[in-house]
Amino acid sequence: MSQVVYMANQIARNFAAQGEAAAVAQTAQHIREFWDPRMIAAILAVDPEVLSDTARAAVRQLTPDP
């Protein structure tokens, strides 16, 4: 598993106690706030199946750096 996949799943898992909707939004926001564009590009390129449900939903909210 690549490092960005592990990180996305770990972030999602730590937001899980907030409830699913909040966890998805906060995971996406966290990635936007703290990740370098190439890391975002890398997570957008992975097979979504390797992501947890929350992380997958969060990644869907991300957009690549123009």
Partner 1 sequence: MGYEPQADFGTPEVTGGPDVTLTVDGRAVTVPAGTSVMRAAALSGGAIPKLCASDNLAAFGSCRLCLVEIDGLRGTPASCTTPVAQGMAVHTQTPRLEKLRRGVMELYISDHPLDCLTCSANNDCELQDAAAQVGLRDVRYGYAGENHLDAMADVSNPYFDFDPSKCIACSRCVRACEEVQGTFALTIDGRGFASKVSAGQASDDFLASECVSCGACVQACPTATLNEKAVTAIGKPERAVVTTCAYCGVGCTFRAELKGEQLVRMVPWKDGKANHGHSCVKGRFAWGYANHQDRILAPMIRETIDQPWREVSWDEALRYTADRLNAIKAQYGARALGGITSSRCTNEEAYLVQKLVRAGFGSNNVDTCARVCHSPTGYGLKTTFGTSAGTQDFDSVMDADVIMVIGANPTDAHPVFASQMKRRLRQGAKMIVIDPRRIDLVRSPHVQAQHHLALQPGTNVAVLTAMAHVIVTEALADEDFVRERCDWDEYQDWARFVADARHSPEVLEAVTRVPAAELRAAARLFATGGNGAIYYGLGVTEHSQGSSTVMAIANLAMVTGNVGRRGVGVNPLRGQNNVQGSCDMGSFPHELSGYRHISDASTRALFEADWGVALDPEPGLRIPNMLDAAVEGSFRALYVQGEDILQSDPNTHHVAAGLAAMDLVIVHDLFLNETANYAHVFLPGSTFLEKNGTFTNAERRIQLVRKVMEPANGFEDWEVTQKVAKAMGLDWDYAHPAEIMAEIARLTPSFAGVSHERLDREGSLQWPVNEAHPDGSPIMHVDGFVRGKGRFVVTDYVPTDEKTGPRFPLLLTTGRILSQYNVGAQTRRTDNVVWHEEDVLEIHPTDAENRGIVTGDLVRLASRTGETTLRALVTDRVAPGVVYTTFHHPGTQANVVTTEFSDWATNCPEYKVTAVQVSLSNGPSEWQERYAEQAAHSRRIEAEPAE
Q: Which residues bind partner 1 (CB under 8 A)?
A: 3, 7, 10-11, 13-14, 16-18, 30, 33-39, 65
- CA-nearest of 45, 43, 38, 36 to 10 is 43
The minimum distance between CB 21 and partner 1, in angstroms, equals 14
Residue 42 DSSP SS3: helix
Give min distance, CB of 19 to partner 1, in A: 9
- Cβ proximity to partner 1, 19 vs 48, nearer residue: 19
